[in-house]
Structure 1
Amino acid sequence: MHPTLDQVNQRIAYQKTALPLMYGDVDFSVTPERYTGDISVSSMAAYAGKFPPPPADMVARVRAYTMLGDVTADAYAALMPKYGFKRLVGMLQEACDKGVEAVPDAPPQLVALIREMEVKPAWLNMDLVRKGGELNRLPMAIFAPWTIRGAFLATFMNKYTALPMALTGTLSNATAAKRVNETATFFTVTTLPGALEPRGEGFKAAAMVRLMHSMVRFNVLRGMNIWDKSVYGIPIPQVDQMPAGLIDVFLLAYKMKEEGRTEFTADERARVEFSRYRCVLLGLPEDLLMDTPQGIIDIMNARSASIRQDFDDATCGALVRATMAAFLPPDRSLASRIRNALEGRVAKLVLVKNFLGGNAQAARDMGVPVGPLDYAVALAILPLITLKMALYDLALKTPGLKAMADRRLVAKIHRLLKRYGHADFTTDAGSYRPAAPVAAAAGPTG
């Protein structure tokens, strides 16, 4: 049963009492500028009137969770002055690899984080989660390597959600490459067999991502004068993790709606269960994780409609340009340079199609030139990817071929993880940079 809105608000207010070092000077009664109840000035402005307004309860929950961090992981991150961030990372990794009991003198905040992650929600069906991971291996192995850079840009299309990435140094090409590869690593590793079980690599990656986000919150809220809480609210609030965690099932739900379907098939239900549980491990409140197609559409639209629309070129545009210019492969071999060049051209089309409404001139205006060669490369590569996906899908549905096809996908995922490189999932306040002054900037909004 979902908590009442009063209980949600009590949980949010509790942050001030539990972690005064981080939240002591946050006024939770003040709604930050980033939040809006007017869809016409939100990131959903282009879709105003094209869908029914989300239920009032969902709108209220999204508004509340705009001010929620991650109490359990934040408490562990708040130990940085005592332990240092490297030791916190090391203890968390050891706890995930060997169990928290194996960590000498494990602080109670670490024990609480691991124990919270080990709790299985009442609705959870781990058999469905395992099936969902199996079904997600195909797109992560074949499709994602060509589109992850473009999909990563979603965070950067709005100044209110982009600022944490700018502050933590992602404006440099090298750091942008690291963040793209870490994002790819997280979503890829979670699809491996057993990855989301305790001691699994996906479980560990989720714990590391939670700590990384909490470290950002700690460093920013601890008194740094680079964050205006009246404008931006809480850094990386829980609602800002919804797009990455639920985008696949959101698109699935919209497709079902277009087809006139209201019930998931067995395979679709497994995909939904997998995505929801992965979000649980990342610390998202369960009442943001809907389990029906319409519920998923409503909660995601409620979140998008809650964020004021604003594109600041000094922050958003710079992040987009740095990400597009980043060299992602682990080496500079000829094959790697060719692949990076081709994948970068596909990423431009992902940017234009998914985030700029098909407006290639808007991409050019922000310093990402899009030309005929980019379209030609995408038209050559994307059909080949689609064909390869279809062949694998056929093999996965054919008795006698299924096991072999899955083994090949698992092997391919391991090779991809090696190419993405070791993911640290850490943030160091020493590398933070003040954000550029916010100014009106012509360009796309989102």
Structure 2
Amino acid sequence: MTAIAHPRPTPQRVRPFEKTRVKTPGWLKLILGRELAPTRAEYDRVVDALWDGDPAMDKMLDWMYASDPALARRQFKQAMEEGIERVENAPEALKTFFRTVETPPAWVDRQLLDEGMRFIHGTGLASTYVLRDLALMGGYLLSGFNQSLLMTGALNRGTAQRVAETGKWWMDCTTPGGLERFGEGFKTTLHVRLVHALVRRNLAARPDWDSAKWGLPVSQIDMVATYLGFSAVMLGGLRKLGLPVTPRESKAVMHLWSYACWLMGVEEKWLVFSERDAIVLLNHTFMTQSKPDDTSREMAIALANEPLERHFPSFQALRRRLYYHQHLSVSRFFLGPDKMAQLGLPENILPWYPWLTLLPRFATYSLRHWLPGQRAEQERRGRREQEDALASLFGDKTHGVIQPGANHPAHT
């Protein structure tokens, strides 16, 4: 890999190259087959991509704003829902975009996609704990990610709704057939991709967005780190919660999210198909992040309080308090006391829930997973748990993904 010949300015949020030279523990180097720290060429490549957005969608937005944004968005929605051929006199920019996303890369393996989805079903609530209490909560420690979220109000106001909308997208992507052309996962992914592009375009033009410090809003590297949270971070977290993961299951999950996030606008050059490569790349994205700050604490406290807004058919007050403490205990299990303190979370929390459930979860999961005739029931049961969890987040509101209001930077 060659270094970037003429790199763009380095945003202030980035850790200097000299501070990335942390020696990899011997056991981890043996697993990864290399040092975790980036080479100079890898460092330059990742840092430079903080200025890259989503070229295909950004180009389509140029057309959208050059014409009639409201009409163009309606045409986009019709093409997404019904197919580009149903859009009367479809503009060439719209045709080009949809021809691209409707042509899957040659590497897509439908059987692996299905296996990844079914594995996720079987994990039940364990996967939701990892994604919420490790990937999302831990992600707030990396304050470079937080700026776009904070300026959209996405996760510090109406947190339950925002988490529910992300959960809806995740459920759509992990439903059998969800990533087929007219599956819900395919369509909601394109919808979210458009929202991201609108946020990127409009925040970058605002005087209060500090490009010299943060780079481009919703950059390729920010999207890459998010995508790896749904794949590599989830797999590692599941193992720590007591769920064994086979090499084939790991491969299927990595494949699933590589395709889903290709649809989301992650460029193919950043896609990885093994956990080992994902761990290395994830670490390289971390070096582009600032230390925890006030945004980290604001976001983390809002997420910690989210269970107090959930809706349950019975014993609502009791269950809200229970889930509040339960989720905090899971975050404490994954993040440790120092990172909890950096996030402004209670420091007297013990990881009681993971401790109490680790062995029972391992035994129950393993028996259902490997005993003849039990795996299908495990997948059905796990999916029902995930559906019930999503319902508790939405309450009586419509289950959907983000619909930007008038004050949101993605509103047209």
CA separation in 1, counterparts of 2:248 and 2:313?
44
Amino acid at match of 1:112: T
Higher mean C-alpha deviation, range 158-167 or range 412-421: 412-421
Cα distance change on mapping 1:253 and 1:152 into 2, 3 Å: closer
Higher mean C-alpha deviation, range 239-248 or range 159-168: 239-248
1:36-95 superposed Cα distances (whole Å, 9 cap, x missing partner): 34363x7xx9x665462234443333123211111222234442575456x666544443
Aligned to 1:322: 302
Cα distance change on mapping 1:360 and 1:127 into 2, 3 Å: closer
Matches within 5 A, 1:212-361: 212-221=195-204, 223-247=205-229, 249-251=231-233, 265-307=247-289, 309-313=290-294, 315-327=295-307, 331=311, 334-355=314-335, 357-359=336-338
1:417 to partner: Cα distance: 4.1
Equivalent pair of 2:169/2:401 in contact (CA under 8 Å):
no
Aligned to 2:175: 192
Amino acid at match of 1:215: L
Within the alignment, does 1:368 sit opposite 2:348 as a pair?
A: no
Aligned to 1:36: 15
1:116 to partner: Cα distance: 2.2
CA separation in 2, counterparts of 1:353 and 1:388?
15
Aligned to 2:113: 129
- Secondary structure at 1:358's aligned position in 2? helix
CA separation in 2, counterparts of 1:49 and 1:396?
34
Amino acid at match of 1:185: K
Aligned to 1:65: 49
Find the partner of 2:163 among 180, 197, 214: 180
1:281-340 superposed Cα distances (whole Å, 9 cap, x missing partner): 211112212234432222121111233x33321x22222222222357553755444333
Higher mean C-alpha deviation, range 201-210 or range 148-157: 148-157
Cα distance change on mapping 1:253 and 1:381 into 2, 3 Å: closer
- Secondary structure at 2:51's aligned position in 1? coil
1:136 to partner: Cα distance: 1.4
Structure 1 length normalisation: TM-score? Answer: 0.75
Within the alignment, does 1:75 sit opposite 2:52 as a pair?
A: no
- Secondary structure at 1:73's aligned position in 2? helix
Amino acid at match of 1:227: W
Find the partner of 2:152 among 154, 162, 168: 168
Where in structure 2 are there 5+ consecutive unaligned residues?
30-34, 241-245
CA separation in 1, counterparts of 2:310 and 2:337?
31
Structure 2 length normalisation: TM-score? Answer: 0.80
Higher mean C-alpha deviation, range 280-289 or range 343-352: 343-352
Cα distance change on mapping 1:388 and 1:49 into 2, 3 Å: closer
CA separation in 1, counterparts of 2:284 and 2:354?
35
- Secondary structure at 1:319's aligned position in 2? helix
CA separation in 2, counterparts of 1:230 and 1:5?
25
Aligned to 1:404: 377
Cα distance change on mapping 1:323 and 1:89 into 2, 3 Å: farther
CA separation in 2, counterparts of 1:268 and 1:338?
37
Find the partner of 2:401 among 405, 424, 436: 424
CA separation in 2, counterparts of 1:327 and 1:169?
19
CA separation in 2, counterparts of 1:214 and 1:337?
39
1:165-218 superposed Cα distances (whole Å, 9 cap, x missing partner): 1101136442x2222112222223211111111111111121122111111112
Aligned to 1:16: none
Amino acid at match of 1:306: T
Aligned to 1:210: 193
Aligned to 1:15: none
Aligned to 1:444: none
Cα distance change on mapping 1:380 and 1:281 into 2, 3 Å: same
CA separation in 1, counterparts of 2:49 and 2:268?
12
Amino acid at match of 2:86: A
Where in structure 1 are there 5+ consecutive unaligned residues?
11-27, 259-263, 433-446
User: In angstroms, what is the RMSD of aligned CA positions?
Assistant: 3.6
Matches within 5 A, 1:42-57: 50=25, 52=35, 53-57=37-41
Aligned to 1:23: none
CA separation in 2, counterparts of 1:60 and 1:121?
27
Aligned residues: 390
CA separation in 2, counterparts of 1:404 and 1:332?
25
CA separation in 1, counterparts of 2:166 and 2:186?
15
CA separation in 1, counterparts of 2:98 and 2:363?
39
